Amino acid sequence: MAERERLEEGADQFIDKVVFVNRVAKVVKGGKRFRFSALTVVGNGNGKVGHGIGKAREVSVSIRKGVEVAKKAMVDVPIVGGTIPHAVIGISGAGRVLLKPAPTGTGIIAGNAVRAVMEAAGIHNVVAKTLGSRNHHNVIQATFDALARLETVEQVSQKRGIELNARA
């Protein structure tokens, strides 16, 4: 899997990861016409991550398009001590992804697609298991669904109207 780091105009450094490149052939009178779709993940390594699909006649162009789409679809991810705040399951179609927080030094124990999302987001310690569909698109969408369900202690206490220092 290709990893490239790019320096943007605003001095923001993004981590680009290509998760999957698919080749599609269309049979025409003169032979076959090939097109490519690239599934990419982009993150700043500090809690912002996005994913996108780019399609083109060349692999490099499809990757560039996928990165542009991913930058526009970035979301914030809560990170507590290099890991996620709590265990969560994300769902997309028949694909499910279980994410569990892990102690420091564990690393990212996950499959290829989930690992790319975690590295781009800046999460260093997590255990993940892909359940159901192994389709790259479903796995990434389920991972983003799981990340969207994450809440920090502060967010939950604010939602419930409880002061943090009132905890026993």
User: In Å, what is the CA distance from 9 to each residue of 74, 75, 91?
Assistant: 17, 20, 35
Q: What is the pLDDT of residue 161?
A: 87
Which fold does the domain 3-75 belong to in CATH? Double Stranded RNA Binding Domain (3.30.160)
Of 10, 104, 22, 90, the C-alpha closest to 56 is 22
Q: What is the pLDDT of residue 66?
A: 95
Please tell us whether the domain made up of 77-156 is placed in CATH 1.20.140.10. Answer: no
Per-residue tens of pLDDT for the chain, all 168 residues: 444 444 444 446 899 999 999 999 999 999 999 999 999 999 999 999 999 999 999 999 999 999 999 999 999 999 998 999 999 999 999 999 999 999 999 999 999 999 999 999 999 999 999 999 999 999 999 999 999 999 888 888 888 888 877 555
Same fold flag, 3-75 and 77-156: no
For the chain, what's the residue count? 168
Q: What is the pTM of this model?
A: 0.85
Residue 125 tokens read as 């310690």
Q: Where are the domains of the chain?
A: 3-75, 77-156
Give the bridge partners for 63, in sequence order.
Answer: none
Under 8 Å CB-to-CB from 158, ≥6 apart: which residues? Answer: none
